[in-house]
Structure 1
Amino acid sequence: MSAAGRLDGVVAIVTGAAGGQGESHARGFVAEGARVVVTDIAEDRGRALVSELGDRALFVAHDVASEAGWAEVVDRAEHHFGPVGVLVNNAGVDHIASIENTSLDTFRHIVEVNQTGTFLGIRAVIPSMRRAGGGSIVNISSIGGIHIVVRSRIAYVAAKHAVRGMTKVAAAELADDGIRVNSVHPGFVDTEMFRAASVPPERMASVPLRRPAALEEITRLVVFLASAEASYITGTEHLIDGGLSGGF
Protein backbone atom coordinates (compact mmCIF):
# COMPACT_ATOMS: atom_id res chain seq x y z
CA MET A 1 0.00 0.00 0.00
CA SER A 2 1.19 3.50 -0.78
CA ALA A 3 0.29 5.27 2.46
CA ALA A 4 0.96 3.11 5.52
CA GLY A 5 -1.17 3.53 8.60
CA ARG A 6 -4.36 4.87 7.00
CA LEU A 7 -6.41 2.48 9.15
CA ASP A 8 -4.37 2.62 12.37
CA GLY A 9 -6.51 1.60 15.33
CA VAL A 10 -9.54 0.68 13.23
CA VAL A 11 -11.41 -2.57 13.86
CA ALA A 12 -12.65 -4.09 10.60
CA ILE A 13 -14.77 -7.07 9.61
CA VAL A 14 -14.16 -8.58 6.18
CA THR A 15 -16.51 -11.36 5.08
CA GLY A 16 -15.63 -14.07 2.61
CA ALA A 17 -12.00 -13.36 3.42
CA ALA A 18 -10.46 -16.84 3.27
CA GLY A 19 -9.48 -16.33 -0.36
CA GLY A 20 -9.73 -14.16 -3.45
CA GLN A 21 -10.69 -10.52 -3.09
CA GLY A 22 -11.63 -10.88 0.57
CA GLU A 23 -8.23 -12.27 1.47
CA SER A 24 -6.58 -9.41 -0.39
CA HIS A 25 -8.70 -6.87 1.50
CA ALA A 26 -7.87 -8.46 4.85
CA ARG A 27 -4.16 -8.37 4.06
CA GLY A 28 -4.41 -4.78 2.89
CA PHE A 29 -6.24 -3.70 6.02
CA VAL A 30 -3.68 -5.29 8.32
CA ALA A 31 -0.88 -3.64 6.32
CA GLU A 32 -2.61 -0.29 6.90
CA GLY A 33 -2.75 -0.78 10.68
CA ALA A 34 -6.24 -2.20 11.15
CA ARG A 35 -7.23 -5.10 13.35
CA VAL A 36 -9.28 -7.43 11.20
CA VAL A 37 -11.94 -10.04 11.85
CA VAL A 38 -11.73 -12.51 8.97
CA THR A 39 -14.95 -14.43 8.37
CA ASP A 40 -15.74 -17.25 5.97
CA ILE A 41 -17.33 -20.68 5.72
CA ALA A 42 -13.96 -22.05 4.56
CA GLU A 43 -12.54 -22.61 8.03
CA ASP A 44 -9.18 -24.19 7.17
CA ARG A 45 -8.20 -21.45 4.73
CA GLY A 46 -9.48 -18.72 7.02
CA ARG A 47 -7.54 -19.99 10.03
CA ALA A 48 -4.40 -20.38 7.91
CA LEU A 49 -4.66 -16.76 6.78
CA VAL A 50 -5.13 -15.48 10.32
CA SER A 51 -2.17 -17.56 11.50
CA GLU A 52 -0.09 -15.80 8.87
CA LEU A 53 -1.44 -12.33 9.67
CA GLY A 54 -0.73 -12.66 13.39
CA ASP A 55 -2.36 -11.09 16.43
CA ARG A 56 -3.94 -8.27 14.44
CA ALA A 57 -6.37 -10.76 12.91
CA LEU A 58 -9.09 -13.05 14.25
CA PHE A 59 -10.95 -15.76 12.35
CA VAL A 60 -14.65 -16.45 12.91
CA ALA A 61 -16.44 -19.20 10.98
CA HIS A 62 -19.45 -17.43 9.54
CA ASP A 63 -22.39 -17.97 7.21
CA VAL A 64 -23.38 -14.43 6.17
CA ALA A 65 -26.99 -15.52 5.63
CA SER A 66 -27.29 -16.36 9.35
CA GLU A 67 -28.68 -13.64 11.62
CA ALA A 68 -27.27 -15.39 14.69
CA GLY A 69 -23.92 -15.72 12.95
CA TRP A 70 -23.72 -11.95 12.46
CA ALA A 71 -24.46 -11.35 16.13
CA GLU A 72 -21.58 -13.67 17.06
CA VAL A 73 -19.15 -11.99 14.64
CA VAL A 74 -19.82 -8.50 15.99
CA ASP A 75 -19.73 -9.71 19.60
CA ARG A 76 -16.38 -11.44 19.10
CA ALA A 77 -14.96 -8.44 17.26
CA GLU A 78 -15.87 -6.14 20.14
CA HIS A 79 -14.59 -8.48 22.83
CA HIS A 80 -11.32 -9.21 21.01
CA PHE A 81 -10.51 -5.81 19.49
CA GLY A 82 -13.17 -3.20 20.35
CA PRO A 83 -16.04 -1.44 18.54
CA VAL A 84 -16.21 -2.02 14.81
CA GLY A 85 -15.24 0.88 12.55
CA VAL A 86 -15.27 -0.81 9.13
CA LEU A 87 -17.34 -3.54 7.52
CA VAL A 88 -16.54 -4.99 4.10
CA ASN A 89 -19.47 -7.05 2.86
CA ASN A 90 -17.40 -9.12 0.44
CA ALA A 91 -18.85 -12.64 0.69
CA GLY A 92 -20.72 -13.69 -2.41
CA VAL A 93 -21.59 -16.59 -4.67
CA ASP A 94 -22.33 -16.83 -8.37
CA HIS A 95 -24.46 -19.21 -10.42
CA ILE A 96 -24.34 -19.53 -14.18
CA ALA A 97 -27.52 -20.91 -15.75
CA SER A 98 -30.28 -19.78 -18.04
CA ILE A 99 -33.47 -18.43 -16.48
CA GLU A 100 -35.31 -21.64 -17.35
CA ASN A 101 -32.60 -23.73 -15.71
CA THR A 102 -32.43 -21.67 -12.51
CA SER A 103 -34.45 -23.36 -9.79
CA LEU A 104 -36.25 -21.37 -7.13
CA ASP A 105 -34.04 -22.92 -4.45
CA THR A 106 -30.91 -21.81 -6.33
CA PHE A 107 -32.28 -18.33 -6.86
CA ARG A 108 -33.08 -18.01 -3.18
CA HIS A 109 -29.63 -19.27 -2.16
CA ILE A 110 -27.83 -16.70 -4.34
CA VAL A 111 -30.02 -13.92 -2.97
CA GLU A 112 -29.59 -15.14 0.61
CA VAL A 113 -25.81 -14.92 0.44
CA ASN A 114 -25.31 -11.87 -1.79
CA GLN A 115 -28.24 -9.68 -0.79
CA THR A 116 -29.62 -10.86 2.56
CA GLY A 117 -26.09 -11.38 3.88
CA THR A 118 -25.27 -7.76 3.04
CA PHE A 119 -28.44 -6.51 4.72
CA LEU A 120 -27.74 -8.52 7.86
CA GLY A 121 -24.17 -7.24 7.98
CA ILE A 122 -25.20 -3.60 7.67
CA ARG A 123 -27.83 -3.99 10.36
CA ALA A 124 -25.58 -5.94 12.72
CA VAL A 125 -22.73 -3.41 12.85
CA ILE A 126 -24.78 -0.24 13.39
CA PRO A 127 -24.74 -0.28 17.23
CA SER A 128 -21.03 -1.13 17.30
CA MET A 129 -20.19 1.64 14.82
CA ARG A 130 -22.16 4.10 16.92
CA ARG A 131 -20.01 3.10 19.89
CA ALA A 132 -16.93 3.62 17.69
CA GLY A 133 -18.11 7.14 16.86
CA GLY A 134 -18.86 6.33 13.23
CA GLY A 135 -17.56 4.06 10.53
CA SER A 136 -17.46 2.96 6.93
CA ILE A 137 -19.36 0.14 5.26
CA VAL A 138 -18.09 -1.05 1.87
CA ASN A 139 -20.44 -3.36 -0.01
CA ILE A 140 -18.84 -5.38 -2.78
CA SER A 141 -21.28 -5.52 -5.67
CA SER A 142 -20.27 -6.08 -9.30
CA ILE A 143 -20.23 -4.47 -12.70
CA GLY A 144 -23.29 -6.70 -13.12
CA GLY A 145 -24.98 -4.63 -10.42
CA ILE A 146 -25.03 -1.49 -12.55
CA HIS A 147 -25.90 -1.78 -16.21
CA ILE A 148 -23.84 -4.31 -18.14
CA VAL A 149 -25.82 -6.86 -20.13
CA VAL A 150 -24.98 -10.42 -19.16
CA ARG A 151 -26.61 -13.78 -19.84
CA SER A 152 -27.27 -16.74 -17.55
CA ARG A 153 -26.87 -14.94 -14.21
CA ILE A 154 -30.34 -13.73 -13.29
CA ALA A 155 -30.03 -14.45 -9.56
CA TYR A 156 -26.52 -12.99 -9.23
CA VAL A 157 -27.37 -9.81 -11.15
CA ALA A 158 -30.62 -9.34 -9.23
CA ALA A 159 -28.78 -9.58 -5.92
CA LYS A 160 -25.92 -7.31 -6.98
CA HIS A 161 -28.37 -4.64 -8.17
CA ALA A 162 -30.06 -4.93 -4.79
CA VAL A 163 -26.74 -4.37 -3.02
CA ARG A 164 -26.35 -1.12 -4.95
CA GLY A 165 -29.82 0.04 -3.89
CA MET A 166 -29.40 -0.98 -0.26
CA THR A 167 -26.14 0.93 -0.16
CA LYS A 168 -27.92 4.17 -1.05
CA VAL A 169 -30.69 3.67 1.50
CA ALA A 170 -28.21 2.82 4.25
CA ALA A 171 -26.00 5.81 3.39
CA ALA A 172 -28.93 8.19 3.76
CA GLU A 173 -30.25 6.57 6.91
CA LEU A 174 -26.92 6.25 8.73
CA ALA A 175 -25.30 9.57 7.82
CA ASP A 176 -26.34 11.20 11.09
CA ASP A 177 -24.44 8.45 12.93
CA GLY A 178 -21.25 9.25 11.04
CA ILE A 179 -21.48 5.96 9.12
CA ARG A 180 -20.61 6.13 5.43
CA VAL A 181 -21.83 3.41 3.05
CA ASN A 182 -20.52 2.85 -0.47
CA SER A 183 -20.55 0.08 -3.05
CA VAL A 184 -17.68 -1.22 -5.18
CA HIS A 185 -18.37 -2.70 -8.62
CA PRO A 186 -15.45 -4.72 -10.04
CA GLY A 187 -15.33 -6.02 -13.58
CA PHE A 188 -12.92 -8.84 -14.41
CA VAL A 189 -10.56 -9.56 -11.49
CA ASP A 190 -7.58 -11.92 -11.64
CA THR A 191 -8.77 -14.53 -9.13
CA GLU A 192 -8.68 -18.33 -9.15
CA MET A 193 -12.32 -18.29 -10.25
CA PHE A 194 -11.57 -15.91 -13.13
CA ARG A 195 -8.67 -18.05 -14.37
CA ALA A 196 -10.77 -21.21 -14.15
CA ALA A 197 -13.49 -19.56 -16.25
CA SER A 198 -11.14 -19.24 -19.26
CA VAL A 199 -12.62 -15.94 -20.48
CA PRO A 200 -12.31 -15.80 -24.29
CA PRO A 201 -9.60 -13.46 -25.62
CA GLU A 202 -12.17 -11.52 -27.63
CA ARG A 203 -14.09 -10.81 -24.41
CA MET A 204 -10.97 -9.47 -22.71
CA ALA A 205 -10.28 -7.41 -25.82
CA SER A 206 -13.44 -5.45 -25.03
CA VAL A 207 -11.74 -4.11 -21.89
CA PRO A 208 -9.93 -0.88 -22.87
CA LEU A 209 -7.05 -1.66 -20.47
CA ARG A 210 -6.85 -5.17 -22.04
CA ARG A 211 -6.48 -7.07 -18.77
CA PRO A 212 -8.31 -8.03 -15.59
CA ALA A 213 -7.75 -6.08 -12.40
CA ALA A 214 -5.09 -7.31 -10.02
CA LEU A 215 -6.41 -8.10 -6.56
CA GLU A 216 -4.42 -5.29 -4.99
CA GLU A 217 -6.04 -2.78 -7.34
CA ILE A 218 -9.46 -3.59 -5.93
CA THR A 219 -8.05 -3.57 -2.40
CA ARG A 220 -6.57 -0.10 -2.83
CA LEU A 221 -10.05 1.23 -3.63
CA VAL A 222 -11.62 -0.59 -0.68
CA VAL A 223 -8.94 0.71 1.70
CA PHE A 224 -9.50 4.24 0.43
CA LEU A 225 -13.27 4.05 0.99
CA ALA A 226 -12.72 2.62 4.46
CA SER A 227 -10.29 5.37 5.43
CA ALA A 228 -10.70 8.98 6.52
CA GLU A 229 -9.45 10.01 3.07
CA ALA A 230 -12.96 9.22 1.82
CA SER A 231 -14.67 11.22 4.58
CA TYR A 232 -17.03 13.04 2.18
CA ILE A 233 -17.91 10.03 0.05
CA THR A 234 -21.09 8.10 0.82
CA GLY A 235 -24.01 6.57 -1.03
CA THR A 236 -22.09 6.15 -4.25
CA GLU A 237 -21.06 3.28 -6.52
CA HIS A 238 -17.43 2.91 -7.52
CA LEU A 239 -16.77 1.12 -10.80
CA ILE A 240 -13.38 -0.49 -11.19
CA ASP A 241 -13.54 -2.33 -14.50
CA GLY A 242 -10.70 -1.15 -16.72
CA GLY A 243 -13.17 0.87 -18.79
CA LEU A 244 -15.35 -2.10 -19.77
CA SER A 245 -18.64 -0.34 -18.98
CA GLY A 246 -17.62 2.96 -20.58
CA GLY A 247 -18.88 2.06 -24.03
CA PHE A 248 -15.51 2.49 -25.75
Structure 2
Amino acid sequence: MTSILLVEDDAEMVSLLSRFLPEEGYQLRVVTDMASTLRAVSEAEPDLILLDIVLGSEDGRDIFRELREISDVPAIFLTGRGLESDRIAGLKMGADDYIVKPFSLGELSARIESVLRRVGSNASPHSIDVPNMKFGPLEINEQTHDVHLNGELLELTAKEFSLLAFLAGSPRQVFSREQLLEHVWASSPEWQNEATVTEHIRRLRLKIETDPDHPRWITTVRGFGYRFEPVLA
Protein backbone atom coordinates (compact mmCIF):
# COMPACT_ATOMS: atom_id res chain seq x y z
CA MET A 1 0.00 0.00 0.00
CA THR A 2 1.30 3.46 -0.92
CA SER A 3 2.22 5.40 2.21
CA ILE A 4 1.81 9.15 2.73
CA LEU A 5 3.23 11.25 5.54
CA LEU A 6 1.11 14.32 6.30
CA VAL A 7 2.94 17.16 8.06
CA GLU A 8 0.09 19.35 9.26
CA ASP A 9 -0.98 21.00 12.52
CA ASP A 10 -4.41 22.25 11.43
CA ALA A 11 -6.86 19.95 13.22
CA GLU A 12 -9.61 20.45 10.64
CA MET A 13 -7.31 19.63 7.72
CA VAL A 14 -5.90 16.61 9.56
CA SER A 15 -9.41 15.33 10.26
CA LEU A 16 -10.46 15.79 6.63
CA LEU A 17 -7.41 14.11 5.08
CA SER A 18 -7.36 11.35 7.71
CA ARG A 19 -10.74 10.28 6.35
CA PHE A 20 -10.19 10.98 2.67
CA LEU A 21 -6.73 9.55 1.97
CA PRO A 22 -7.33 6.10 3.52
CA GLU A 23 -10.57 5.93 1.52
CA GLU A 24 -8.44 6.54 -1.59
CA GLY A 25 -6.31 3.53 -0.66
CA TYR A 26 -3.34 5.30 0.96
CA GLN A 27 -1.71 4.42 4.25
CA LEU A 28 -1.52 7.68 6.21
CA ARG A 29 0.67 8.85 9.08
CA VAL A 30 0.30 12.33 10.57
CA VAL A 31 3.02 14.42 12.25
CA THR A 32 3.03 18.06 13.29
CA ASP A 33 6.60 19.35 13.55
CA MET A 34 10.19 18.99 12.36
CA ALA A 35 11.34 16.52 14.99
CA SER A 36 8.48 14.10 14.40
CA THR A 37 8.82 14.47 10.61
CA LEU A 38 12.50 13.55 10.57
CA ARG A 39 11.89 10.71 13.01
CA ALA A 40 9.03 9.30 10.94
CA VAL A 41 11.05 9.39 7.71
CA SER A 42 14.05 7.76 9.41
CA GLU A 43 11.87 4.98 10.82
CA ALA A 44 9.99 4.17 7.61
CA GLU A 45 10.41 6.33 4.52
CA PRO A 46 6.99 7.08 3.00
CA ASP A 47 6.23 7.14 -0.72
CA LEU A 48 5.11 10.78 -0.55
CA ILE A 49 5.00 13.69 1.89
CA LEU A 50 2.28 16.33 2.09
CA LEU A 51 3.91 19.28 3.85
CA ASP A 52 2.15 22.40 5.10
CA ILE A 53 4.73 25.17 4.94
CA VAL A 54 3.10 27.14 7.78
CA LEU A 55 3.24 25.14 11.01
CA GLY A 56 2.71 27.21 14.13
CA SER A 57 6.14 28.50 15.13
CA GLU A 58 7.95 26.39 12.51
CA ASP A 59 8.46 27.03 8.81
CA GLY A 60 7.71 24.01 6.66
CA ARG A 61 10.43 25.09 4.25
CA ASP A 62 13.00 24.64 7.01
CA ILE A 63 11.61 21.16 7.62
CA PHE A 64 11.95 20.44 3.90
CA ARG A 65 15.59 21.55 3.88
CA GLU A 66 16.39 19.27 6.82
CA LEU A 67 14.42 16.46 5.20
CA ARG A 68 16.52 16.68 2.05
CA GLU A 69 19.62 15.96 4.12
CA ILE A 70 18.36 12.43 4.80
CA SER A 71 15.84 11.61 2.08
CA ASP A 72 14.72 12.27 -1.48
CA VAL A 73 11.11 11.28 -0.82
CA PRO A 74 8.81 13.30 -3.13
CA ALA A 75 6.98 16.17 -1.44
CA ILE A 76 3.94 18.29 -2.20
CA PHE A 77 3.71 21.65 -0.44
CA LEU A 78 0.35 22.67 1.02
CA THR A 79 -0.04 26.38 1.67
CA GLY A 80 -2.39 29.31 1.89
CA ARG A 81 0.16 31.46 0.07
CA GLY A 82 -1.09 31.73 -3.48
CA LEU A 83 1.33 34.27 -4.95
CA GLU A 84 3.19 33.13 -8.04
CA SER A 85 6.49 34.07 -6.39
CA ASP A 86 5.72 31.71 -3.49
CA ARG A 87 4.91 28.85 -5.86
CA ILE A 88 8.07 29.43 -7.87
CA ALA A 89 10.17 29.56 -4.70
CA GLY A 90 8.69 26.28 -3.51
CA LEU A 91 9.36 24.51 -6.80
CA LYS A 92 12.90 25.89 -6.95
CA MET A 93 13.54 24.43 -3.50
CA GLY A 94 12.81 21.03 -4.98
CA ALA A 95 9.15 20.47 -4.09
CA ASP A 96 7.48 18.12 -6.56
CA ASP A 97 4.25 20.11 -6.55
CA TYR A 98 2.60 23.04 -4.78
CA ILE A 99 -1.10 23.19 -3.85
CA VAL A 100 -2.75 26.38 -2.63
CA LYS A 101 -5.45 26.19 0.05
CA PRO A 102 -8.35 25.91 -0.16
CA PHE A 103 -8.20 23.03 -2.63
CA SER A 104 -10.66 20.35 -3.63
CA LEU A 105 -10.07 16.75 -2.61
CA GLY A 106 -10.30 15.81 -6.28
CA GLU A 107 -7.45 18.16 -7.15
CA LEU A 108 -5.34 16.82 -4.28
CA SER A 109 -5.94 13.24 -5.39
CA ALA A 110 -5.01 14.05 -8.99
CA ARG A 111 -1.80 15.82 -7.97
CA ILE A 112 -0.77 12.96 -5.68
CA GLU A 113 -1.30 10.48 -8.51
CA SER A 114 0.65 12.69 -10.92
CA VAL A 115 3.67 12.97 -8.61
CA LEU A 116 3.66 9.25 -7.86
CA ARG A 117 3.55 8.49 -11.60
CA ARG A 118 6.55 10.74 -12.23
CA VAL A 119 8.50 9.17 -9.40
CA GLY A 120 7.57 5.69 -10.58
CA SER A 121 9.17 6.39 -13.96
CA ASN A 122 12.50 7.39 -12.44
CA ALA A 123 14.16 3.99 -12.69
CA SER A 124 17.28 4.00 -14.78
CA PRO A 125 16.67 2.80 -18.36
CA HIS A 126 19.56 0.38 -17.88
CA SER A 127 18.01 -1.41 -14.91
CA ILE A 128 16.70 -4.38 -16.91
CA ASP A 129 19.54 -4.81 -19.39
CA VAL A 130 22.40 -4.12 -16.97
CA PRO A 131 21.36 -5.30 -13.49
CA ASN A 132 24.93 -5.27 -12.21
CA MET A 133 27.75 -2.88 -13.13
CA LYS A 134 31.31 -3.22 -11.91
CA PHE A 135 34.11 -0.71 -12.40
CA GLY A 136 37.18 -1.81 -10.50
CA PRO A 137 36.40 -1.28 -6.79
CA LEU A 138 32.93 0.17 -7.50
CA GLU A 139 29.98 -2.19 -7.90
CA ILE A 140 26.43 -1.05 -8.63
CA ASN A 141 23.57 -3.54 -8.38
CA GLU A 142 20.33 -2.23 -9.86
CA GLN A 143 18.28 -5.17 -8.66
CA THR A 144 19.12 -4.73 -4.97
CA HIS A 145 19.98 -1.00 -5.24
CA ASP A 146 23.23 -1.71 -3.40
CA VAL A 147 26.47 0.12 -4.12
CA HIS A 148 29.78 -1.25 -2.85
CA LEU A 149 33.09 0.60 -2.97
CA ASN A 150 36.21 -1.34 -2.03
CA GLY A 151 33.90 -3.98 -0.59
CA GLU A 152 32.09 -1.51 1.68
CA LEU A 153 28.34 -0.93 1.34
CA LEU A 154 27.58 2.76 0.76
CA GLU A 155 24.50 4.40 2.23
CA LEU A 156 22.90 6.25 -0.68
CA THR A 157 19.45 7.77 -0.86
CA ALA A 158 17.11 6.50 -3.58
CA LYS A 159 17.76 9.55 -5.76
CA GLU A 160 21.53 9.37 -5.27
CA PHE A 161 21.42 5.74 -6.38
CA SER A 162 19.28 6.56 -9.44
CA LEU A 163 21.65 9.37 -10.40
CA LEU A 164 24.76 7.20 -10.05
CA ALA A 165 23.20 4.26 -11.90
CA PHE A 166 22.05 6.47 -14.76
CA LEU A 167 25.47 8.07 -15.23
CA ALA A 168 27.33 4.76 -14.85
CA GLY A 169 25.03 3.16 -17.41
CA SER A 170 26.62 5.38 -20.08
CA PRO A 171 30.30 5.70 -19.14
CA ARG A 172 32.08 8.84 -20.35
CA GLN A 173 28.90 10.24 -21.90
CA VAL A 174 28.30 13.84 -20.87
CA PHE A 175 24.84 14.75 -19.57
CA SER A 176 23.66 18.29 -18.97
CA ARG A 177 21.77 19.17 -15.81
CA GLU A 178 18.64 19.56 -17.93
CA GLN A 179 19.07 16.02 -19.29
CA LEU A 180 19.60 14.63 -15.80
CA LEU A 181 16.46 16.38 -14.57
CA GLU A 182 14.56 14.76 -17.44
CA HIS A 183 15.92 11.23 -17.05
CA VAL A 184 16.50 10.90 -13.30
CA TRP A 185 13.86 13.25 -11.89
CA ALA A 186 11.32 12.92 -14.73
CA SER A 187 11.17 16.71 -14.54
CA SER A 188 12.43 19.79 -16.38
CA PRO A 189 13.89 23.24 -15.60
CA GLU A 190 10.36 24.64 -15.91
CA TRP A 191 9.28 22.53 -12.94
CA GLN A 192 12.45 22.06 -10.92
CA ASN A 193 15.59 24.09 -10.36
CA GLU A 194 18.69 22.70 -12.07
CA ALA A 195 20.55 23.44 -8.82
CA THR A 196 18.85 20.28 -7.52
CA VAL A 197 21.16 18.27 -9.79
CA THR A 198 24.24 20.18 -8.64
CA GLU A 199 23.41 19.54 -4.99
CA HIS A 200 22.82 15.81 -5.53
CA ILE A 201 26.10 15.51 -7.45
CA ARG A 202 27.84 17.20 -4.51
CA ARG A 203 26.30 14.80 -1.99
CA LEU A 204 27.04 11.79 -4.14
CA ARG A 205 30.69 12.80 -4.47
CA LEU A 206 30.97 13.08 -0.69
CA LYS A 207 30.01 9.41 -0.47
CA ILE A 208 31.92 7.83 -3.36
CA GLU A 209 34.97 10.03 -3.89
CA THR A 210 38.19 9.81 -1.90
CA ASP A 211 38.67 13.53 -2.54
CA PRO A 212 35.33 15.16 -3.44
CA ASP A 213 37.12 18.35 -4.50
CA HIS A 214 39.06 16.36 -7.10
CA PRO A 215 36.57 13.68 -8.19
CA ARG A 216 37.63 10.71 -10.27
CA TRP A 217 34.27 8.91 -10.65
CA ILE A 218 31.89 11.75 -11.51
CA THR A 219 33.65 14.57 -13.29
CA THR A 220 32.46 17.99 -14.39
CA VAL A 221 32.73 18.97 -18.04
CA ARG A 222 32.68 22.73 -17.79
CA GLY A 223 29.96 24.36 -19.82
CA PHE A 224 28.30 21.02 -20.57
CA GLY A 225 27.51 18.91 -17.50
CA TYR A 226 28.69 15.71 -15.83
CA ARG A 227 29.97 12.31 -16.84
CA PHE A 228 30.88 9.03 -15.18
CA GLU A 229 34.52 7.96 -15.51
CA PRO A 230 34.86 4.14 -15.39
CA VAL A 231 37.95 3.88 -13.18
CA LEU A 232 39.12 0.27 -13.36
CA ALA A 233 41.76 0.27 -10.64
TM-score if structure 2 supplies the norm length? Answer: 0.30
- Which structure: larger Rg? 2
Give the structure, 1 or 2, with the largest relative contact order (CA under 8 Å, sep 6 or more).
Answer: 1
Structure-1-length-normalised TM-score: 0.28
Q: Going by fraction, where is strand more abundant, 1 or 2?
A: 2
